Amino acid sequence: MTANAPFIGTTQLSGHVVVVCGTQRAARRAVARYRSLGAAVTTAVVPSEMAALSPALSRASLIVAVDDGNPGWDFLPALARERRVMLVQEEAAPEHGTVTLVGGGPGEADLLTVAGRKALAQADVVYYDRLGPVGIVGELAPGAELIDVGKTPGHHKVPQGRIQDMMVASALEGKSVVRLKGGDPFVFGRGGEEVDACVAAGLPVTAIPGITSSISVPGTVGIPVTHRGVAKMFTVASGHQPFSDDELEHLAGLGGTIVVLMGVATLPQTVAGLIRNGLDPKTPAAVIERGYTDTQRSTVAALDKLVMAAAEAKCASPAVVVIGDVVAVGNDWKELVAHVGAAAGSREDSRA
């Protein structure tokens, strides 16, 4: 029996013997994947090694024929039939390294793209962050080495330059590297710098977009970032550093929705600055923490009460701050908004 698809996902093969045939380079991905699924993996790098594997073959549940270009493996289907062992054929792992930036979305597994899942399934190594679907990386990338380079605010676990060096080094070794990032790779994700580093090293790099928290997290509590007759634009800003007076003047004057990421620590300056620059203190606003988790919480208040409300609620990063009349629109019909994910039932809300 032959099949073309490798076993991936949650299949468990502990207690099973798997014989993988093919050169080390071509077969590396299959070997890593079957090991990660718990199988006892025996390898034959060249066809002549097969003869010595007779004992393993008599216990084998599966033979994996990796297409390494060697016609000497042509006897495998007959051997598998004779031994009554299932045979699967698999493509060789690529010769040359690649880097794929994957936007992981806001953290909910169902909100990772199909393209992102495919890239993870084929990865040799995954560098991942604190945000995004981190809980299921191992399941989505069976056989990949998983490296946590996540940062917490003010505490840079792995400096950005070092992350880039590690990614490039892995790809230069010939590995398929996935850089998994929260949300979209190009929204405050430093994705551009990582692309630059790969291009400078002459490596092929692909970027797969992700669902950004700046739109999805407000959406999950029923706040549309635009709404006909209410807001015809939205600005997504980083609150990592306090805004300058110029920036505050422009933000306050735009007349659209303001979405601030990384904005909890600088919330007092942001709010004071917007009011000082003429934004109506009664503008509805919200801080939505830990979107798409079972501890998601939203704190809603008029702009002039927001800092107090957020302090009382002890709002903490990661959170999306939304300022604009759309916050009130959402409040009218948020119960009608379909929530993705099982977490929806246990969400808390508070209003000042």
Which residues belong to the active site?
Answer: 129, 151, 262
Residue whose pair of structure tokens reads 């919330």 in the numeric block? 267
Q: Which token pair is 143?
A: 């056989």
Supply the minimum distance, in Å, between the C-beta of residue 43 and ligand SAH.
40
Please say which residue, 42 or 216, places its beta carbon nearer to ligand SAH. 216
Q: Are strands 145-148 and 125-128 parallel, antiparallel or unpaired?
A: parallel
Please, which residues bridge with residue 301 across strands?
Answer: 285
Please say which residue, 43 or 213, places its beta carbon nearer to ligand SAH. 213
CA–CA gap between residue 15 and residue 19 (Å, rounded): 13
Please say which residue, 134 or 352, places its beta carbon nearer to ligand SAH. 134
Supply the minimum distance, in Å, between the C-beta of residue 54 and ligand SAH.
53
* Number of residue whose CB is nearest ligand SAH: 183
Please say which residue, 22 or 132, places its beta carbon nearer to ligand SAH. 132
Supply the minimum distance, in Å, between the C-beta of residue 161 and ligand SAH.
18
Q: Are strands 40-44 and 297-302 parallel, antiparallel or unpaired?
A: unpaired
Binding residues vs ligand SAH (CB under 6 A): 106-107, 131, 181-184, 187-189, 212-214, 217, 261-262, 290-292, 317-320
CA–CA gap between residue 318 and residue 300 (Å, rounded): 16
CA-derived radius of gyration, the chain? 25
Residues 144/32, Cβ–Cβ less than 8 Å: yes
Q: Are strands 17-21 and 2-3 parallel, antiparallel or unpaired?
A: unpaired
Supply the minimum distance, in Å, between the C-beta of residue 97 and ligand SAH.
24
